[in-house]
Amino acid sequence: MSALTVLAADEFKAPGLELFEFPPLWDGAPFWLTKPVLLALLSSVVVIGFCWSAFANPKLVPRGMQNIGEMGYTFVRDQVARPFLGKDADRYMGLLLSLFFLVWIWNLMGVVPVLQFPVASHIAFPIVLAVSVYALKIYLGMKHQGALGYFKNMMFPPGLPKPIYFLLAPIEFLSNMIVAPFTHAVRLFANMFAGHIIIAFFSMVGFWFLFEKLTPLGAPVGVLGVLFTIAMTGFELFIQFLQAFLFALLAAMYIGGSLHAEH
């Protein structure tokens, strides 16, 4: 944990990695059964419940949850699936819609009172989703292009001078087999990790200077801490949506690249 020396001898300790360390939910519980796991399960229940209420018994004229669900479906279909999957978009809409809503709810857990922890700020959760998407990408690539054809199209894009392939082939292999799934997971994780620390920092500044060390000089700092907490929470809501969108978008791009070699 880092420390900032403020107002002479008073010491303010900024939040650090302890924000992401959770013991088992109760004594004797499995070591893996922690708050993030519980929130991940709760998020799954929320997404399943939402989709069930929106799509289980659709009406000709949508209302309520069906109206919201169709808005989400249309957004993912038009902005995520169709640009990369074309005529195959509808086939993979169930996967992409689920990914989008699940990651979004994971992220929103960070600003829900009492819960206040974004699931994706634990690297294990984005890794599971990224590896699942990547396994599907490789499977579809080999199925539609053949095993040799898949790696040939990946490493040897047509139309280039042959000497270039000595440099390009290993770069393409590393980029597609290692860098792509790594960045797919880490982009989501890093944004949620940083956002959680920033909001925690400003909220602790506000609490410290307004309640723990209230002084004529410290009060304005505390007020600024509260204002920045509100502002950063609003900004984080946008980032949470954006990261869910980007995660689903990259999943669609990877799947489209496997289905259509020319991509």
Is residue 7 within 8 A of residue 213, CB to CB? The reply is yes
C-alpha–C-alpha distance, residues 138 and 160, integer Å: 24
What confidence score (pLDDT) does residue 62 get?
A: 80
What confidence score (pLDDT) does residue 261 get?
A: 66
Which residue intervals of 121-214 are DSSP H helices? 124-145, 147-155, 164-174, 180-207
C-alpha–C-alpha distance, residues 146 and 261, integer Å: 11
Coil, strand or helix: which one is 68? helix
Q: Which residues of 181-199 are buried (b: 16+ CB within 10 A; e: fewer)?
A: beebbebbbbbbbebbbbb
Is residue 103 within 8 A of residue 188, CB to CB? The reply is yes
What confidence score (pLDDT) does residue 161 get?
A: 84
Report the predicted TM-score, pTM, of the whole model to 2 decimal places.
Answer: 0.88
Q: Which residues of the chain have a pLDDT value below 50?
A: 1-9, 263
What confidence score (pLDDT) does residue 10 get?
A: 56
Neighbouring residues of 145: CB distance < 8 A, sequence distance ≥ 6? 153, 258, 261
Q: Which residue type, as a one-letter code, is found at position 53?
A: S
What confidence score (pLDDT) does residue 164 get?
A: 87
What confidence score (pLDDT) does residue 45 get?
A: 96
Q: Which residue type, as a one-letter code, is found at position 168?
A: L
Strand 3-5 with 11-13, pairing: antiparallel
Taken in order 87, 93, 97, 103, is the CA torsion positive or negative?
Answer: negative
